[in-house]
Amino acid sequence: MFDEYTMSELTSILAMQGFAGLILFSVLVLMALGLAIIFGQMGVINMAHGEFMILGAYVTYLTAKLFETYMPSLFDGYFFVAMGLAFLASFALGVLVEWCMIRFLFKRPLDTLLATWGLSLILQQLYRTIFGAREVGVTLPDWMMGSYALSETIEVPINGIFVMVLTLFISLCVYLLMFRSRWGKQVRAVVLNRPMAGAVGINTEKIDRYTFGIGCGVAGIAGSAFTMIGSTGPTSGQLYIVDTFLVVVFGGAQSLLGTIASAFTISQSQSTLEFFLSGSMAKVITLLLVVGILMLRPQGLFALKIRH
Amino acid sequence: MRNPTDLRLSKAGSTCQVSGRRLTVKALCALPVSLLLASHMAWAAPATSEVNTTGLAVTDDTVTVGILHSVTGTMAISETGSVQAEKLAIDQINATGGVLGRKIEYIQEDGASDWPTFAEKSKKLLVNDKTAAVFGCWTSASRKAVLPVFEQYNGMLYYPTFYEGLEQSPNVIYTGQEATQQIIAGIDWVVKEKGAKTFYLLGSDYIWPRTSNKIARKHIEKLGLTVVGEEYYPLGHTQFNSVINKIKLKKPDVIYAIVVGGSNVAFYKQLNAAGIKLPSEKPLLLTISVTEDEILGIGGENIEGAYAAMKYFQSLDNPNNKAFVQAFKDKWGKDIVIGDVTQAAYLGPWLWKAAVEKAGSFDIDKVRAASPGIELTTAPEGYVKIHENHHLWSKTRVGLAQKDGQYKVVFESADLIEPNPFPVGYQ
């Protein structure tokens, strides 16, 4: 297995695979963070998570078109505007959905599954009606293309680095919001004991609405970032939903730290295995690994200790 | 819906009525004209009882066919173009007088990217609607699902997608290319023109890419060249960093990529981002799965410089194609692009019309018997002919992807390539 490469090649393999793994890790974290907030903290199974991402992607596409047509001189920077707009659009839709659907279903988690599944179908059809069934291409500014050469044989794609930095930034924001702010404290209080939180004067309805909105908004940012590496079509969201749930469940649904640990485990094993085995085989073994660990630890890698 | 006996009775009745009424009106206008018209119509539209002896949905004025594609679900992205092409062909045929003097009407069903649904809808089109022909399907899975239905109820399917071969049915006309027509000519071209010696094969993980790569590998090895890597990724996979790293290390002359669907977008974007510049010719990339349709999603700047081997490109420079592209854009919008399969789908109704007119009947058995040898000199791809094995003779072309999303044709096989769905030594 190793003898076909020289020593220096092996070193660069390990380095580049390490980077590939980190990029995959960032992608998984971006995908799963929004869901971890919604599923982990609120107990809502959001099957429309992928569609919220795609909303972000379409907003990015529209922004790119807008800049191309009206402000070509500012095109290099459009991506940051697009991500902001993607967050706002998904956040707004999330708040709306919470208001007219989710809030009636808090006591029935399985019904949220069905309702959001229906929502995902509705959104897909909506995208198809508005943007057409074909995939749309999002043009990237030139500086985001190409790769950065660390040495003769080691090169890192620039958009990969971009995704990593973005992930770091978003994770930090979510961390500050959930664990270092008054708002986060209220969210966690509501999660632990809804009636009691209400009794001490927390407006649980408002907390629920905006938490759901923020989860969706993060999905929108993820979708915006994925236009760099993936496809944007009405059904592209479906590509992500299984992996996203895998990451969140494997990490332990209620723990944001667990989500990150889980994304790291999955991405590193996937990317290492991919190099020495085939792509499909790597996926199978990764899944077996996850199933095996979940059999030993049904609550996932990390679980909150709560008295029941 | 309707049962065959009713249909025949009502048809006989309406024939008398229509011709009776027509005669009175015409006679009131002018007798000579009416005679001329009547004789003309008698020539154009033979009696229904003669051209339809098996109870198909044929009346004196119309013939009903089926269109069966996914307009919802994951395949809608691809199949939309086929539906548009088939409708355009039907419109054009109707504008030039229809088939045996009858206007084509269509019933469209949605396979919803779900193979059992395809089977169910095809049964509906054949048994309930009595359609005289069905244009449809895209994935091999959907075709395999409807095949037993078409064979049991004796229907006629015109299937437009390039596919892996290893199939031949009396009830299907394959208007796309089978694997050997695309792959072997394409590989021969990169070997001869670009001096390629080493290949990296890459594909999505299902039957078409695997069979295609099997043929490619056999052919490469037969030429005494090497395959340095072969790899498959699950459908919908979006992370190709690892395989791109491997490609960088193995330095093949050719990346031979048969990735499909949304994965394509991810693959080419990541390839570009990883610094593999396709226009620099080393490694060069040859694909048989990226048409102009897919480039819309991938973005021209990400795939510029890649080569594709297929039979049709929108940029083909011939009068047939110019007219086709113009008509397509007039009907479906000026920004639309036309890929290989879309053109193959467009051939379906025309090939069927030619076969019906050669047979002088809509009956499935007669149409089938008349099909081999049918030629189309008006095809956008140039000229096609139906082989005994129900596939088309066609040319293979190699296109070079441009930044604007179109292919520039850089090679065209000198002769038509004989379809060979069961290639000896390649299985």
| C-alpha count within 13 angstroms, C-beta hemisphere, residue B207 | 13
- Are B344 and B352 in contact by the 8 Å Cβ rule? The answer is no
Q: What is the pTM of this model?
A: 0.82
Helices marked H in chain A — which ranges?
7-35, 42, 49-70, 78-100, 109-131, 158-179, 182-192, 194-199, 204-226, 237-251, 256-276, 279-296
Taking the Cβ of residue B249 and every Cβ of chain A, the question of whether any pair is shorter than 8 Å is answered with yes
Judged by CB atoms closer than 8 Å, whether chains meet at A137 and B298 is answered as yes
Judging contacts by C-beta atoms under 8 Å, the chain B residues touching residue A24 are 239, 241
Residue-wise pLDDT tens digits, B118-136 = 999 999 999 999 999 999 9
What sign has the CA pseudo-torsion A287, B270, B411, B402?
A: positive
What is the least distance, in Å, from the CA of B321 to any CA of chain A? 23
What is the least distance, in Å, from the CA of B296 to any CA of chain A? 6
| C-alpha count within 13 angstroms, C-beta hemisphere, residue B336 | 22
A positions 246-305 inside 8 Å of B (CB) = 270-271, 274-275, 278-280, 283
Residue-wise pLDDT tens digits, B324-376 = 999 999 999 998 999 999 999 999 999 999 999 999 999 999 999 999 999 99
Least CA distance to A126: which residue of chain B? B72
Instruction: List the single residue in B243, B263, B273 with the smallest CB-CB distance to A160.
Output: B273
Instruction: List the single residue in A23, A147, A236 with the smallest CB-CB distance to B275.
Output: A147
Judged by CB atoms closer than 8 Å, whether chains meet at A238 and B74 is answered as yes
Least CA distance to A239: which residue of chain B? B236
pLDDT at position A304 is: 63
| C-alpha count within 13 angstroms, C-beta hemisphere, residue B425 | 6
Residue-wise pLDDT tens digits, B179-201 = 889 999 899 999 999 999 999 99
Interface predicted TM-score of the whole assembly (ipTM), two decimals? 0.82
- In a 3-state reduction of DSSP, which class is residue A189? helix
pLDDT at position B16 is: 41
Judging contacts by C-beta atoms under 8 Å, the chain B residues touching residue A137 are 265, 295-300
A positions 14-43 inside 8 Å of B (CB) = 16-17, 19-20, 23-24, 27
Judging contacts by C-beta atoms under 8 Å, the chain A residues touching residue B270 are 157, 229
pLDDT at position B2 is: 43
Burial class (CB within 10 angstroms; exposed 0-12, middle 13-18, buried 19+) of B269: buried
pLDDT at position A305 is: 62
B276 band by pLDDT with thresholds 50, 70 and 90? confident
Highest mean pLDDT among A268-277, B265-274, B390-399: B390-399
The full DSSP string for B264-284 is HHHHHHHHHHTT--GGG-SSE
What is the least distance, in Å, from the CA of B213 to any CA of chain A? 15
pLDDT at position B113 is: 86
Taking the Cβ of residue B72 and every Cβ of chain A, the question of whether any pair is shorter than 8 Å is answered with yes
For β-strands B103-110 and B134-136, DSSP reports them as unpaired
Q: Which of B265, B293, B406 to mutate to test the interface with A (most CBs of A within 10 A)?
A: B265
pLDDT at position A2 is: 58
pLDDT at position B10 is: 40
What sign has the CA pseudo-torsion A124, A127, A132, A137?
A: negative
pLDDT at position B15 is: 40
Burial class (CB within 10 angstroms; exposed 0-12, middle 13-18, buried 19+) of A234: buried
CA gap B79, A176 in Å, rounded: 47
pLDDT at position A151 is: 75
Angle (CA) A286-A290-A291 rounded to 5° is 115
Judged by CB atoms closer than 8 Å, whether chains meet at B300 and A137 is answered as yes
Question: Taking 70 as the threshold, does the pLDDT of residue B8 lie above it?
Answer: no
Residue with tokens 């005289």: B132
Burial class (CB within 10 angstroms; exposed 0-12, middle 13-18, buried 19+) of B284: buried
Q: Which of A235, A276, A285 to mutate to test the interface with B (most CBs of B within 10 A)?
A: A235
Instruction: List the single residue in A136, A140, A270 with the smallest CB-CB distance to B297.
Output: A136
Residue B381: both structure tokens together:
């791809």
Judged by CB atoms closer than 8 Å, whether chains meet at A228 and B301 is answered as no
For β-strands B103-110 and B407-412, DSSP reports them as unpaired
For β-strands B375-376 and B307-310, DSSP reports them as unpaired
- Are B178 and B419 in contact by the 8 Å Cβ rule? The answer is yes
Least CA distance to B265: which residue of chain A? A231
- Are B292 and B321 in contact by the 8 Å Cβ rule? The answer is no
User: What tens-digit pLDDT sequence spans chain A (308 residues)?
Assistant: 556 677 777 787 788 888 888 988 998 999 899 998 888 778 888 999 999 999 999 999 999 999 989 988 888 889 999 999 999 999 999 999 999 999 898 888 888 899 999 999 999 999 988 988 778 888 888 887 777 877 777 778 888 889 999 999 999 999 999 889 999 999 889 888 888 999 999 998 999 999 999 999 999 999 999 888 888 888 888 888 888 888 988 988 778 888 999 999 999 888 888 888 877 888 889 899 999 988 998 888 887 665 55
Instruction: Spell B341-354 as b/e; 16+ CB within 10 A means b.
Output: bbbbbbbbbbbbbb
Taking the Cβ of residue A203 and every Cβ of chain B, the question of whether any pair is shorter than 8 Å is answered with no
